[in-house]
Structure 1
Amino acid sequence: MKKSNAKLSNLDRYLPVWIGVAMVAGLLLGRAVPSLSDALASLEVAGISVPIGIGLLVMMYPVLAKVRYSRVASIAGDKRLLVSSLVLNWIVGPAFMFALAWIFLPDLPEFRTGLILVGLARCIAMVIIWNDLACGDREAATLLIALNSVFQILAFSLLGYFYLTVLPQWLGLDSQGLDISMGKIAINVLVFLGVPLAAGYLSRVFGEKARGVDWYENTFLPRVGPWALYGLLFTITLLFALQGEAITNRPFDVVRIALPLLVYFAAMWLTGMVVGKLLGMTYERTATLAFTAAGNNFELAIAIAIATFGATSGQALAGVVGPLIEVPVLVGLVYVSLWSAKFWSTNAADASGVSGDEERANEGAHV
């Protein structure tokens, strides 16, 4: 593992600054042009915001174009990684968010429900950025994201019913229903994972075939790589423009929602790192496990909150506050992850016997 030589590009190095600028710009834009929120909300197809969808697709494509798909099949044999990821994402994560929502927001049912929705929506988009910046295993991240996508289609509605209706009734708490079809979730997954995944795979296959591996790795990828962060910043700006007025008009509510989210993201990341270390995984796969456990699919949570409870609901506001907290926290955890790499043995080998970071040692930039 060559963490000592890993360096962020100039674009990546100042990522917290660019993200802060994008967040402030979005908030100011939403306040300055109140009609912008309605205009953006009207640009939807099948319940999916077209502008935000474009931003997410631009964000995901460059990273998925970098994936060495020939390695993915070998990673599927790493039972430690797959099982621990499923447990953290579909048992620990939703249960932990449910507990935090009731502990921090017992008197605010709308915000509480919004937080529970965030906990159920496992990340399939932005996590790929955090994982790459932290020098995680790119191929393992692709596999885990695909696995979570399948579970998201099958389990989201059932878990939503369980955590919003069944479990509260068992515990003698207030309950609130959720009516969302598997079809809507499947469309969300198809757009935000299926399209960029197919584009990335086809780019590698035809790019290497037409121009060779050297051209693809050393010419094509460095050219498209920065677009991942451009897409990220564009998406963040739009998200905060959509709810800029609500966020600035209700700062105390935002703080109430932010506290359990801060605990959630930090605790889930730390749990993933500890589990990976205890199971003897390499740093790369441990970082991947941690970030896939900590990240959440804010687009899905917001879309479902709006479709079920309305665009101006407390549930929708809680969903929007999700990326407000997730983005800076996970950016900070990227740097903590890189620092923590020194605690992993340089001789550790993953299940395939090849370190993803070593394979990427000659790449010019991580994103």
Structure 2
Amino acid sequence: MGIFERYLSIWVALAIVCGTIAGLFIPEFFALVANWEYAHVNLVIAVLIWLMIYPMMVQVDFYALKDVGKKPQGLMLTLLVNWLIKPFSMALLGWLFFKGIFADFVDAQTAEQYIAGMILLGVAPCTAMVFIWSQLTKGDANYTLVQVSLNDVIMIFAFAPIAGLLLGITDITVPWPTLLLSVVLYVLLPLVAGALTRAYYFKDKTNGDARLAIFLNKVKPLSITGLILTVVLLFGFQAETLVAKPLNILLIAIPLLIQTYGIFAFSYWAARRLKLKHNIAAPACMIGTSNFFELAVAVAISLFGLHSGAALATVVGVLVEVPVMLSLVYFANKTRHWFNE
């Protein structure tokens, strides 16, 4: 785990501070960037999101899907959590907190936006960082690859319908063309680009892995750069709101923390009941717990705009995820003896 991944929350926090300060002192710059938009897609943000997503998609190996039938229990646990539990529990928590517990702290329209951002996080299962969580828990790397690859295929078809369903339950009008365009832009096309890149490097059958590893080491810094610059821009756009309402970040973080720890607790309990080996159970639980926050950020911006509460909620997801997931890695390693080796 490189220095950028290990201290990602620190870099995100610094980006939040820098973006907020810049938004207060040079608002005209952010107004200019906000106007660079086509078909509800901000062109600057779209480029940065691609910088984030593309290096991750290159790691996805669709050839690994041939092993999808091996050790099916861990795979079924991940799919159950990712697509039948997590999106709906996130929507429920968002509604419970921002329509109930926190209703006196935020206005109704802002509450809807925060719920929308949480829903988008819940419908986007992790794609890239889970490789790191798997490595830190000494997980089965090949099995993790199968799980991630299958989830990405499902995401192409399931993300838009589930997101549209849950957003439609709220008072938010779902712009279906924009939602479908976001899936094409930020899931399908990056997956295709990643697959083509892998195919190019594996033309050399004897040295493909080494050549691809060198390429990934070169492009991975672009992913972190894209994320940090996106956070700077988002908080620059939201600077005045944040200064006026700094409590809102904490309000968003609380249900996100409950969701993350709750989903992991359920997954870990289920993995023990299924008597999975630890090197299968730990990565399966990590995949079900963490989020593809890059996709959630991109879709929130496309659907609701750069200045929206939905975009802010997805960025807060970035801020809390890394330290929380590291704490879960620590717990998983300490409880390895609970499982069969």
User: Scaled by the length of structure 1, what TM-score is found?
Assistant: 0.76
Matching of residue 216 in structure 1 with residue 211 in structure 2: yes
Between the aligned partners of 1:335 and 1:242, the Cα distance in structure 2 is 30
Checking the alignment, whether the CA contact within 8 Å between 1:117 and 1:160 is kept in structure 2 is yes
Checking the alignment, whether the CA contact within 8 Å between 1:63 and 1:128 is kept in structure 2 is yes
Q: CA RMSD in A?
A: 3.0
Matching of residue 191 in structure 1 with residue 190 in structure 2: no
**CA apart distance, 1:199:** 1.2
**CA apart distance, 1:203:** 0.7
**CA apart distance, 1:53:** 1.4
Are the structure 2 counterparts of residues 277 and 299 from structure 1 closer, same or farther at C-alpha, using a change threshold of 3 Å? Answer: farther
Are the structure 2 counterparts of residues 273 and 227 from structure 1 closer, same or farther at C-alpha, using a change threshold of 3 Å? Answer: farther
Checking the alignment, whether the CA contact within 8 Å between 2:268 and 2:281 is kept in structure 1 is no
SS in 2 for 1:113: helix
Are the structure 2 counterparts of residues 90 and 264 from structure 1 closer, same or farther at C-alpha, using a change threshold of 3 Å? Answer: closer
1:344 to 288, 311, 336: 336
SS in 2 for 1:209: coil
- Tell me the number of residue pairs that the alignment of Structure 1 and Structure 2 aligns: 321
Flag structure 2 segments of 5+ consecutive residues without an equivalent. Answer: 136-143
SS in 1 for 2:196: helix
- Deviations 1:100-148 (CA, angstroms, capped at 9, x unpaired): 2223233431222112212332467794343233236244234324423
Are the structure 2 counterparts of residues 124 and 208 from structure 1 closer, same or farther at C-alpha, using a change threshold of 3 Å? Answer: farther
Checking the alignment, whether the CA contact within 8 Å between 1:131 and 1:138 is kept in structure 2 is no
Checking the alignment, whether the CA contact within 8 Å between 1:59 and 1:232 is kept in structure 2 is yes
Matching of residue 26 in structure 1 with residue 5 in structure 2: no
User: Scaled by the length of structure 2, what TM-score is found?
Assistant: 0.81
Checking the alignment, whether the CA contact within 8 Å between 2:120 and 2:299 is kept in structure 1 is yes
Identity of aligned residues (%): 18
Matching of residue 10 in structure 1 with residue 3 in structure 2: yes
SS in 1 for 2:173: coil
1:137-286 alignment to 2 at 5 Å?
A: 137-162=144-169, 164=170, 177-210=171-204, 212-279=207-274, 280=276, 281-286=280-285
Checking the alignment, whether the CA contact within 8 Å between 2:51 and 2:226 is kept in structure 1 is yes
Between the aligned partners of 1:53 and 1:272, the Cα distance in structure 2 is 34
**CA apart distance, 1:229:** 1.5
Are the structure 2 counterparts of residues 224 and 139 from structure 1 closer, same or farther at C-alpha, using a change threshold of 3 Å? Answer: farther
SS in 2 for 1:336: helix
1:334 to 316, 325, 330: 325
**CA apart distance, 1:328:** 2.3
**Amino acid in structure 2 at the alignment position of 1:21:** L
Aligned twin of 1:39? 32
Between the aligned partners of 2:4 and 2:254, the Cα distance in structure 1 is 30
Are the structure 2 counterparts of residues 29 and 273 from structure 1 closer, same or farther at C-alpha, using a change threshold of 3 Å? Answer: farther
Between the aligned partners of 1:42 and 1:23, the Cα distance in structure 2 is 21
Are the structure 2 counterparts of residues 98 and 302 from structure 1 closer, same or farther at C-alpha, using a change threshold of 3 Å? Answer: farther
Are the structure 2 counterparts of residues 119 and 257 from structure 1 closer, same or farther at C-alpha, using a change threshold of 3 Å? Answer: closer
Are the structure 2 counterparts of residues 263 and 92 from structure 1 closer, same or farther at C-alpha, using a change threshold of 3 Å? Answer: closer
**CA apart distance, 1:179:** 2.2
Are the structure 2 counterparts of residues 283 and 264 from structure 1 closer, same or farther at C-alpha, using a change threshold of 3 Å? Answer: closer
Matching of residue 112 in structure 1 with residue 118 in structure 2: no
Aligned twin of 1:321? 312
**CA apart distance, 1:205:** 0.8
Between the aligned partners of 2:130 and 2:185, the Cα distance in structure 1 is 21
**Amino acid in structure 1 at the alignment position of 2:319:** P
Are the structure 2 counterparts of residues 64 and 36 from structure 1 closer, same or farther at C-alpha, using a change threshold of 3 Å? Answer: same
Are the structure 2 counterparts of residues 261 and 226 from structure 1 closer, same or farther at C-alpha, using a change threshold of 3 Å? Answer: same
Between the aligned partners of 2:175 and 2:87, the Cα distance in structure 1 is 19
**Amino acid in structure 1 at the alignment position of 2:239:** G
**CA apart distance, 1:58:** 0.8
**Amino acid in structure 1 at the alignment position of 2:299:** L
Matching of residue 70 in structure 1 with residue 63 in structure 2: yes
Are the structure 2 counterparts of residues 345 and 59 from structure 1 closer, same or farther at C-alpha, using a change threshold of 3 Å? Answer: farther
**CA apart distance, 1:51:** 1.4
Are the structure 2 counterparts of residues 254 and 229 from structure 1 closer, same or farther at C-alpha, using a change threshold of 3 Å? Answer: closer
- Deviations 1:295-349 (CA, angstroms, capped at 9, x unpaired): 981332343334xxxx76xxx23x2331442122111023113313322369868
SS in 2 for 1:106: coil
